[in-house]
Structure 1
Amino acid sequence: MNAPTWITAVPLVSLAAWVWLLLGQGFFWRTDVRLPTVRGQPEPARWPSVAVVVPARDEAQVLPESLPSLLAQDYPGDAWVLLVDDGSTDGTAALARSLAERTPDGLPLTVLDAGEREPGWTGKLWAVRRGVAHARASAEPPAFLLLTDADIAHAPDSLRRLVHGALAGRLDLVSQMARLRVRTGWERMIVPAFVYFFAQLYPFRWVNKPSARTAAAAGGCALLRTQAAERARIPESIKDAVIDDVTLGRAVKRAGGRIWLGLADGVHSVRPYVGLRPLWRMVSRSAYAQLLNNPLLLAATVLGLALVYLVPPVWACAGSPVGGAAWLVMTLTYVPMLRYYGRPLWTAPLLPVTAALYLAMTIDSAVQHYRGRGAAWKGRTYS
């Protein structure tokens, strides 16, 4: 008995989707979009000044690894670090001062208190606002602002390379997707796919093309010209953004700024994710916000994820060569990201398993939203 037409058509649609993703989605799967090259570009005679703004809330666990790397930056120009304590209860501010005392020859550190958050602001952006306002109030405001998270560690030449790349490329925003930690079993399974899916949604080549509408940034490491921040009204214009990095990129590009986004070499996160639960929360807290809290978009996303990631292995295991071809294309697109993270390439065919987890996280994000617990992070919940 012949199978119904729709059963044979489904894997064909899936294969067509993967051919399109392979060739028509900005080559999202490639990992060669790195910091703009500065070869042949002379270093500036006078390096511009930079204020490094670090919003921090209960970050005592990670600061000993991240903050010293910022204080030890080998930067030829004027630079200073502003750590904004956002209501921490674990001694974050005192620890930051102690770490600065142990690095007497490092960049100067000022620890600020974020103050009482006004309605309509997310906690992180309220802290960023405090740091940016303090920097702008300086006798000589900085030419650049480096917005970096408290869990991000930088190679000694990170700031130098960021600024040189921005100057050489005449860029207003340069952001790097920090290399996340992949030590535990769950981190190895979830993290490379997280970056892979992000690049699929926001292909870096499209982001970096001035004429393209696609815009995004990586909030963990974003170097922003102060003038561009003023034109785009950063952070006031994005004060309620749950996905603040993508919104930052959009705001700067919409204001006429040139932006760049790519993978990092000397910037990495030191935040540990022990077990599945913290990784689940990392994804689910913003997944439904990414879909504009729209149930129709959620339904379309669930169907799309199932068609693109789950159909190929299921149909392949049922003996469909078309399903097998779609699974093969999917696997090949995942290989570069696994190589970037130093993971064994034989795990590439397991991407559908990870995609199923992300599908569940997305559904849970919607459930938590309607329960009034959506976008919860460090004791705060945002509507």
Structure 2
Amino acid sequence: MNTLAWFAFASLAAWVWLLLGQGFFWRTDQRLPPTTRGPGHAREATAGGPGVPVGGHARDEEPGAWPRVVIVVPARDEAGVLPLSLPSLLAQDYPGVAEVVLVDDGSTDGTGALAVELAGRCGGLPLTVASPGEPEPGWTGKLWALRHGMALARARGPEFLLLTDADIAHEPDSLRLLVSAAVGNDLDLVSQMARLRVESMWERLVVPAFVYFFAQLYPFRRINRARPRATAAAGGCVLLRTETAVAAGVPESIRQAVIDDVSLARAVRRAGGRIWLGLAERVDSVRPYPGLGELWRMVARSAYAQLRHSPPLLLGTVAGLVAVYLVPPVALVAGAAAGNAPAAWAGGGAWAAMAGSYVPMLRYYRQPLWLAPLLPFTAFLYLLMTVDSAVLHHRGRGAAWKGRTYARPEAAPDR
């Protein structure tokens, strides 16, 4: 066999390992189940740990006494999406006491005033709008807003805080299901990855792959085990036990983090908290990313931070993306053209395994399955976005979001 064939077989072997040895990341079955039983059922211990079934699913039960919850929404220049998201929070059908605190983080588009107007028009849960002023040195903007919102929330004495982004819309039973899962399974952090908007062609190409790559990096099943082998969360929808937040010292302990959700999960885990992460069925992002430019900025602003700003990790990531995602189609086409059957067969097998593993995510996003063979093209885009993220960092421009630039942001800490 020549060099191309060896590379093709190495890629095929990598895909066999990814499919079987990386926590079955490609499956999309880590979901909160529907609640079918009434309050008052006791928890059960199962094979997956106290109250957590095998596979990480929450038990299909509701708590007997509904705890007090404060929903904290950091918002900066969100007037465009707030009419689609805030009414869904105010309309939560929650049996206990709940209220909403929206932190207007220096908006220039009237976000705070619009929130008050929407609350007056829609009614529902009580709303408080507050503003923390500009972030102090050493803080990223979102975490500065969360610090202010969480301080206001803790004054109300809630047992849980729901931290949710201003572009996230919730079905009326979302909060009830989250609290039921947390209380019924003795969890300290319950996080759902909101279903992102997929309407434009670029969104169809990039968004499902974004979640697919995230799950490959942080397999949900491993995170949800009683003895986890990975730690992560999805920052758009996080239900957090208040006493655990205090014990973990958040958000102060992660104040410089750009990847705040992963940093939050690690801080909770270090404090002894139990975590669950899965895909959402009742929580959706309403933020549009109609063009490639918007999607590029979304990925590039934090990609290099995820690699801890490490050139060796960047080189390893680029090499891994090439070997795993780009070699298979190249080997198939080049091998077929040159009459190199081993390279063509191995490349085709790796490409088929790749496309097959992507099918469940496309089904979750209700997208046509013909997009599956295009995953190498999307991976190439992510490779370029990651390199661009590193270039921006070394030029001192770092992560930029909503008019703020963090020239040297911290990566999510491991300790």
Secondary structure of residue in 2 paired with 1:23: helix
2-structure distance, mates of 1:37, 1:16: 38
1-structure distance, mates of 2:226, 2:63: 24
Please, which runs of 5 or more residues in structure 1 have no aligned partner?
none
In the alignment, which residue of structure 1 is the partner of 2:115?
Answer: 96
Please, which runs of 5 or more residues in structure 2 have no aligned partner?
42-60, 337-343, 409-415
Q: What is the TM-score when the length of structure 2 is the normalising length? A: 0.89
Matches within 5 A, 1:84-233: 84-104=103-123, 106-138=124-156, 141-233=157-249
**2:351 aligned with 1:327, yes or no?**
yes
The residue identity in structure 1 corresponding to 2:84 is E
2-structure distance, mates of 1:224, 1:291: 26
Answer whether contact 1:37 1:165 (CA < 8 A) is retained. no
In the alignment, which residue of structure 1 is the partner of 2:396?
Answer: 372
2-structure distance, mates of 1:73, 1:100: 13
| Equivalenced residues, count | 377
Secondary structure of residue in 1 paired with 2:122: coil
1-structure distance, mates of 2:170, 2:108: 25
The residue identity in structure 1 corresponding to 2:74 is P
In the alignment, which residue of structure 2 is the partner of 1:352?
Answer: 376
1-structure distance, mates of 2:162, 2:353: 38
Answer whether contact 1:31 1:336 (CA < 8 A) is retained. yes
**2:60 aligned with 1:63, yes or no?**
no
1-structure distance, mates of 2:83, 2:125: 16
2-structure distance, mates of 1:375, 1:237: 20
Alignment partner for residue 339 of structure 1, among 356, 363, 372?
A: 363
Answer whether contact 2:104 2:132 (CA < 8 A) is retained. yes
Give CA-to-partner distance per residue, 1:300-340, whole Å, 9 cap, x none: 11011000000001101122101100001001000000000
1-structure distance, mates of 2:166, 2:212: 23
Identity in percent? 69
The residue identity in structure 2 corresponding to 1:132 is M
1-structure distance, mates of 2:216, 2:4: 27
Deviation at 1:35, TM superposition (A): 1.1
**2:303 aligned with 1:284, yes or no?**
no
Deviation at 1:43, TM superposition (A): 3.2
Give CA-to-partner distance per residue, 1:252-284, whole Å, 9 cap, x none: 112111100000000000001121101000000
In the alignment, which residue of structure 2 is the partner of 1:31?
Answer: 28
Structure 1 runs of 4+ with >4 Å offset = 36-42
Secondary structure of residue in 2 paired with 1:262: strand
Alignment partner for residue 269 of structure 1, among 268, 285, 292?
A: 285
Deviation at 1:194, TM superposition (A): 0.2
**Which stretch of the first structure deviates more once superposed, 371-380 or 308-317?**
371-380
Answer whether contact 1:38 1:165 (CA < 8 A) is retained. no
Q: Cα RMSD between the aligned structures? A: 1.1
Answer whether contact 1:36 1:169 (CA < 8 A) is retained. no
Secondary structure of residue in 2 paired with 1:15: helix
Answer whether contact 2:258 2:305 (CA < 8 A) is retained. yes
Deviation at 1:135, TM superposition (A): 1.1
Give CA-to-partner distance per residue, 1:176-216, whole Å, 9 cap, x none: 00000001111111000000000000000011113123100
Answer whether contact 1:53 1:146 (CA < 8 A) is retained. yes
The residue identity in structure 2 corresponding to 1:31 is T
In the alignment, which residue of structure 2 is the partner of 1:46?
Answer: 65
2-structure distance, mates of 1:371, 1:22: 38
2-structure distance, mates of 1:351, 1:43: 40
Answer whether contact 1:177 1:221 (CA < 8 A) is retained. yes
